[in-house]
Amino acid sequence: MKKQNSMAKLVSMNGLQHAGYLAVAKTRAKVLKAFSYVIPIRRPMLFVGETSCDELCDMLINEGNTHVFIVTDAVLNKLGVPARVTNYLDKHNISYTVYDGVTPDPTFKVVEEGLRQSLEAKCDSIIAIGGGSVIDAAKMIAMAQGNDCAPQKLIGILKARKPATPLYCIPTTAGTGSEATLGAVVSDDETHQKALSIDPRMVPLAAAIDPIIMKGMPAHITADTGIDVLTHALEAWMSVNASVETDYYAASAVKSVMHYLPLVYKDGSDLKAREEMGIAAHYGGIAFNKAGLGYVHAIAHQLGAHYSIPHGRANAIVLPYILDVNRNASKKRLAALAKRTGIVKDSHTNDSNLADYLITQVRDLIQTVGINPTVKGMQVSDFDKIAKAAAKEVSDTYAVPTYMSASEIKDILMKIKQASDGLVNDEKTSDKVA
Ligand SMILES: [Fe+2]
């Protein structure tokens, strides 16, 4: 009896905690919505196609810049990717300095070294050539240089006082959409804890979507990054803070990913599909810039940090579970998306069927692009920490249609673990048979 009473107390305490969490999270969601209405977020000038890098350089030159700091990583530099820009700058007698020291999940040291080199070379503008890590590092260098401060001073919301050094971006993957967004993530050198800087001044002046640059991306990275785009768009679509504007970009991105990702996964040299995926990534970035993300990203960030899974793949693993969670609250929205994107054949059926059809299509796509939806080494002892951190990320940052308690998040983690253990066992069996 005593045990029953203490259990009842615990349940009601958890209920109270969850009610408190809900109230705080919903209030923050309203503040974020107000923030997105009051503070204008500019959109980068967008150049698309095989001459887009030249057009981006023309814009930079016409703005009167004379010495460009090119931010990239060592692999891309070795492959000669920056030559697409440096050859054009050479032709127009524009000098440049190349910094290829960006690592995945860049740390403050990476940003500080870039800032030091840019200042030493007296660069007046920056071109980022790379994936999300390179673009995030370049954003931080541009903001720190423009504000004459250490990058650490920019962590948080609206910390800048002055504009960033003019920043131009050429994404080499179709995923993060970072070239369109107002945030950048930097990791602490010792703890590897990630810190976020958010400021509309961080949005680059221009971006070039060049399918030739993206052509060499391996199929598995194309798949992972493509599902990241889909997740940005779906989370922005389901967000309570979605608007007519964000809906346009989110729906366009979903439609493109559903159609073009299987094509470009199959044939990486399909330039039309590459270009459309690049635009979809950019549109996904614009959509979540204002509408925000949700539990898929919150949980995926933790899976990535604990088990070293690439970001897009972690999203692919979590996405179907969160679509199921949101299915009832977002039924009408998902049905509307299924109709708007034209991915459903029979649009006269009811909302329940349309929502289910869309969710099935997403599951099928993840399978079609060869993503193994398993996580190796998941430990139940990690679940508490993961669930709390994910719940905090949602309550601090996002406006989701369904709020979950930490124990509901842990249920999802358990399902992922069970599915992973089952598939790992299957793999072992087939290894034995082979
Ligand atoms: Fe993402």
3-class secondary structure, 392: helix
Model confidence at 28, pLDDT cuts 50, 70, 90, reads low
The amino acid occupying position 373 is P
Cα of 301 vs centre of ligand 1, distance in Å, is 9
Q: Quote the ligand 1 centre to 16 CA distance (angstroms).
A: 32
pLDDT of residue 431: 32
The residues, ordered by sequence, that sit 6+ positions from 115 with a Cβ below 8 Å of its Cβ are 141, 144, 145, 151
User: Please, what are the domains in the chain?
Assistant: 45-214 (3.40.50.1970), 217-424 (1.20.1090.10)
Per-residue pLDDT of 377-405, as tens digits, reads 999 999 999 999 999 999 888 999 999 99
Q: Which two tokens stand for residue 139?
A: 């954003």
Residues with CB under 5 A from ligand 1 (ion): 228
Task: For residue 83, report the distance from its CA to the centre of ligand 1, in Å.
Answer: 28
Q: Separation of 226 CA from ligand 1 center, angstroms?
A: 10
- Residue 142 contacts residue 164 (beta carbons within 8 Å): yes
Ligand 1 centroid – CA 223 distance (Å)? 13
Round to whole Å and give the CA distance between 176 and 237.
16
Q: What is the pLDDT of residues 109-162, one digit of tens each?
A: 999 999 999 999 999 999 999 999 999 999 999 999 999 999 999 998 899 999
User: How far is CA 428 from each of CA 377, 423, 431, rounded to the nearest angstrom?
Assistant: 15, 9, 5
Q: What are phi and psi of 107, to 5 degrees?
A: -100, 175
Q: What is the pLDDT of residue 311?
A: 93
What are the tens digits of pLDDT across the range 83-118? 999 999 999 999 999 999 999 989 999 999 999 999
What whole-number distance in Å separates Cα of residue 184 and Cα of residue 143? 10
Asked whether the beta carbons of 386 and 411 are under 8 A apart, the reply is no
Residues 202, 71: Cα–Cα separation, whole Å: 15
Ligand 1 centroid – CA 134 distance (Å): 15
pLDDT at 32: 62
